[in-house]
Amino acid sequence: MALEFYVGISVPASGRYSYCTLRSLRADGPEDDVLLAILLLCVHEAHNFSDPSRMFPHLNAAAVILRQRLCFAPPNPELRTFLLEIFCYFFALVAFSHGSSLDIAPVARVFESISVNGGDSRSQSLLLGPSQDLIATIFCVSMLMHSPNKLTDDERRLELTHIELQLQNLDTNCPATNQGDLSHDDLALFELYRLACLVYVR
């Protein structure tokens, strides 16, 4: 049950409200209503940013729901795809700087599901555009730094070197999406994430 992450956690008023509200919804229902509600809370916390810890319980709860539902066909595939992208975006970026506060290791399956189900992820992406694969790479870096399955220094260095080469070789001249050519903003955001991750890895 995803709501277990809210029980016993001292959170601000918005978090207490979210718990009371979500209790009235069925976390195991056929729809993605609860997942949508939790991710909207993440959007709210990001927009009204005051403390990163306010987002931790919401992301952990969303992770539980997604892991439980990956093996089931969603009633609304387009909505599920969109929610997966929102989750991966928030989780990857928050884990990058606050990975020790999140349940990182099990979430790898969620990121893998996008690649498996998406085919050419750049043409299937509804939200992240050409940055979808890059967001997954950022998550991989967080896994290396914060995963409870500790690697040796040599193993971590080897993995980071491989990621560095991937980042160096990424091509920002991405093919057109279903909505037409990628905008300048899409490519600029892609390059911003790529360079930030590359600097961190180095």
Residue-wise pLDDT for 16-66, tens only, equals 434 444 444 444 444 788 888 888 888 888 777 667 778 888 888 888 888
| CB-count burial class (<10 Å; 0-12, 13-18, 19+) for 94 | buried
The C-alpha atoms of residue 150 and residue 44 are separated, in whole angstroms, by 34
CA-based torsion, 48, 54, 56, 58: positive or negative: negative
B/e letters for 58-69, b = 16+ CB within 10 Å, e = fewer, are bbbbbbbbbbeb
Does the pLDDT at position 8 exceed 70?
A: no
Q: What is the pLDDT at residue 124? A: 56
Tell me the average pLDDT of the chain.
73
Does the pLDDT at position 113 exceed 80?
A: no
Domain count, the chain: 1
Average pLDDT, integer, range 173-177: 47
Q: Residue 9 is part of which domain span? A: 2-201
Q: What is the pLDDT at residue 6? A: 52
Q: What is the pLDDT at residue 117? A: 53
User: Does 152 or 90 have the greater pLDDT score?
Assistant: 90
Of 60-69, 70-79, 119-128, least confident by mean pLDDT is 119-128
pTM value > 0.85: no
All residues at 6 or more sequence positions from 25 whose CB lies less than 8 Å from its CB, including other chains: 33, 34, 37
User: Does 132 or 10 have the greater pLDDT score?
Assistant: 132
B/e letters for 169-187, b = 16+ CB within 10 Å, e = fewer, are ebeeebeebeeeebeeebb
Q: What is the pLDDT at residue 27? A: 44
Q: What is the pLDDT at residue 40? A: 86
User: Does 20 or 71 have the greater pLDDT score?
Assistant: 71
In one letter, which amino acid is 55? M
